[in-house]
Structure 1
Amino acid sequence: MQERLQKIISAAGITSRRAAEELILKGQVTVNGNVVTELGSKADPAKDTITVNGKPLQVSQKRLYILLNKPVGYMTTLDDPEGRPLVTDLLKEVNERVYPVGRLDYNTEGLLLLTNDGDWANKLMHPSNEIDKEYHVRVRGKAHASQLAQLAGGVLIDDRKTSPATVEVIQSSENNDWLSLTIHEGRNRQVRRMCEAVSLSVVRLKRVRYGSLSVGTLKPGEFRYLTDTEVRELGQTKKTVMQEKTRPAARIPSSKNYKEQNTIKNKR
């Protein structure tokens, strides 16, 4: 059966559908020896010979869904010109080719999903699904109520305001605050740039939750396979909300550094 090339490439676990489109536009995909550069082009993976960057395409029938606790110092790409370690280097036991669902920066750690199911990955990454992603952010110094309010209400990044976020101080010390920041967008380096926009310096950044999934007890570098239920629920839910507990949009804990309790709420 003929399908769009970008869908076939994505289903093979080479890369996401969006990145597959870029490969086609750059002339890096051939069908039966002919270079294809039109995004509407179709092929039959069962009959046609498809190559990507000169390598024959093999479509796997086995679908894999992986949750990895990414350590700092790994790239969430399938290739790095500088030769830095890749997240796929941590999956030596996985025989099928998988790719990351979205990205985490080189210096960002935590929950990362990988798969070879292009349709599932595209559902998760599509902006209309608004899947919550929770980060724990260690910032230098103290986070003031006005800064939390700005983060919760949205800040300008590239002349476009971010959507309302959920933010609270979850731990406070003399030199640093730990924030919980939940967003549903996926802009490049968004959490770091949001903090920069309100003059907060990020010392450490970790993603702890993606929709209904949490990093749990996985140690950095460890991974597990998702259950069928987890795959189905995450792929079908438009907007996944944490079921175990609900929290105010912003909360500053009482301590000697804070004279009163402040709560900020933003409705989406």
Structure 2
Amino acid sequence: MKERLQKILAQAGVASRRNAEKLIAAGRVAVDGKAITELGAKVEAADVRITVDGKPLPAQEAHVYFLLNKPKGYITTAHDDRGRRTVLDLLPEVKERIYPVGRLDNNTEGLLLLTNDGVLTNGLLHPKQEVDKTYVARVQPVPTEQALVRLTEGVKLEDGMTAPALVRLLSSDGDEARVEITIHEGRNRQVRRMFAAVGCDVKALKRKSFAGLTLAGVPRGTHRPLTQAELAHLRELAGFSNPQPPSRDAKISSGDFAGTAKRWKE
């Protein structure tokens, strides 16, 4: 089946689809030795030789998908020039070239997806899809009712107003509180900056769910492959109008998915 050239480049892990379009427009991509600059060009990847700057595309790996319970002290990147621990150090047995779906900062723990499926990643992170991310923050001081209302309505940050959030005060003890907040944006350190905007300092932050997936059964620092039901759900959220079941090459677990489906409905 013929596909757009930029999609093939993204699937091969060369670049995001947007950056792949820039490579094509710059004349850096060739098909069977001929430079292609048309963004709408479609090819059958198996029948042609595609090169970027004269180098052939890397052999496409089978897509794999993992859910990680990230601890603090690991940075969300595939490589670090400063030698710091990365989330990939927590999956040493994975041989495929995977990368995180979005980011959690060094001091934030919780749910992080990792995959080598660039198309799915781009779909889940695209702002128009509004994929929910739920966090539990330990903050000081206890936020006022007015502060909680401001968070639900959106607060002004240096990079603009945030979208409305779902906010729930879970508990308070002395001058500390635990607050659950659900957002669908992905700005840098957004949750911490939102609380700072209403006068609260985040002392600890954990992402408890992403796109309806949770950390149930995944202890801190461990990971598991996604189930077929979870992957189909993510494909739908990523905007695939006719989500297809994962390929037989996808590394996923089998079994009873009723518990997962129930969590999505809650």
State the TM-score bracket (shorter-chain normalisation).
Answer: 0.7 to 0.9
Instruction: Give 5+ residue unaligned stretches, structure 2.
Output: 240-260
Distance verdict in 2 for CA 1:162–1:4, change over 3 Å: same
Q: Give the SS at the match of 2:74.
A: coil
Contact 1:68–1:223, Cα closer than 8 Å, also in 2: yes
Quick check: 206-215 or 171-180, which moved more?
171-180
User: When the two structures are aligned, how many residues end up with a matched partner?
Assistant: 243
User: Where does residue 58 of structure 1 map in the other structure?
Assistant: 59
Residue in 1 aligned with 2:7? 7
Superposed displacement of residue 171, structure 1: 2.1
Measured at CA, do residues 19 and 100 of structure 1 come closer, stay the same or move farther in structure 2, by a change above 3 Å? farther
Q: Distance in 2 between matches of 1:59 and 1:173?
A: 52
In structure 2, the CA distance between the partners of 1:68 and 1:195, relative to structure 1 (3 Å rule), is same
Which residue of the partner structure matches residue 144 of structure 2?
A: 144
Question: C-alpha offsets along residues 18-70 of structure 1, whole Å, 9 cap, x if unaligned?
Answer: 46567x49x8x765899x8968386764432535897952212x221111111
Residues 39, 242 of structure 1: alpha-carbon distance in 2 compared, 3 angstrom cutoff: farther
Give 1:134's aligned residue: 134
Q: Name the SS for the 2:122 alignment partner.
A: helix
CA distance, structure 2, for counterparts of residue 221 and residue 5 of structure 1:
37
CA shift in 2, pair 1:66/1:20, >3 Å: farther
- d(CA) in 1 for partners of 2:66, 2:157: 31
Q: Which position in structure 1 is the counterpart of 2:110?
A: 110
Preserved CA contact (<8 Å) 2:213 2:264: no
Distance 1:95 1:204, change over 3 A: same
How far off is 1:117 after superposition? 1.6
- The 5 A counterparts of 1:55-94 are 57-60=58-61, 62-94=62-94
**Partner SS, residue 186 of structure 1:** coil
Bigger proportion of residues as helix: 2
Residues 63-90 of structure 1 show CA distances to partners (whole Å, capped at 9, x for unaligned) of 2111111111222222222221121121
Give, in whole Å, the separation in 2 of the partners of 1:238 and 1:9. Answer: 19
1:142 to partner: Cα distance:
1.4
Q: Take 1:119 and 1:3, find their aligned partners in 2: how far apart are those partners?
A: 12
Instruction: Give 3-state SS (helix, strand or coil) of 1:138's partner.
Output: strand
> Corresponding residue for 1:48?
49
Q: In structure 1, what residue type is equivalent to 2:58?
A: L
Look up the SS of the partner of 2:9 in the other structure. helix
Residue of structure 2 equivalent to 1:162: 162
Whole-angstrom CA distance in 2 between matches of 1:52 and 1:227: 38
CA contact 1:21–1:39 (8 Å) conserved in 2: no
Instruction: Give the TM-score normalised by structure 1.
Output: 0.76
Q: Distance in 2 between matches of 1:241 and 1:194?
A: 31
Higher mean C-alpha deviation, range 206-215 or range 118-127: 118-127
Q: What is the CA–CA distance in structure 2 between the aligned matches of 1:193 and 1:64, rounded to whole Å?
A: 33
> Which residue identity lines up with residue 126 of structure 2 in the other structure?
H
**8 Å Cα contact 2:32/2:49 also seen in 1:** no
Q: Equivalent residue for 2:232?
A: 232
Mark the CA change 1:2 to 1:237 in structure 2 (over 3 Å): closer, same or farther.
closer
Q: For the residues of structure 2 that align with 1:52 and 1:225, how far apart are their CA atoms? A: 35
What is the rounded CA distance, in whole Å, between the counterparts of 1:170 and 1:232 in structure 2? 31
Q: CA deviation at 1:135?
A: 0.3
Distance in 2 of aligned mates of 1:129 and 1:33: 36
Q: In 2, Cα distance between the equivalents of 1:100 and 1:212?
A: 17
**Separation in 1, partners of 2:14, 2:215:** 25
CA RMSD of aligned residues (A): 3.3
Q: TM-score, normalised by structure 2?
A: 0.77
The one-letter code of the counterpart of 1:227 is: T
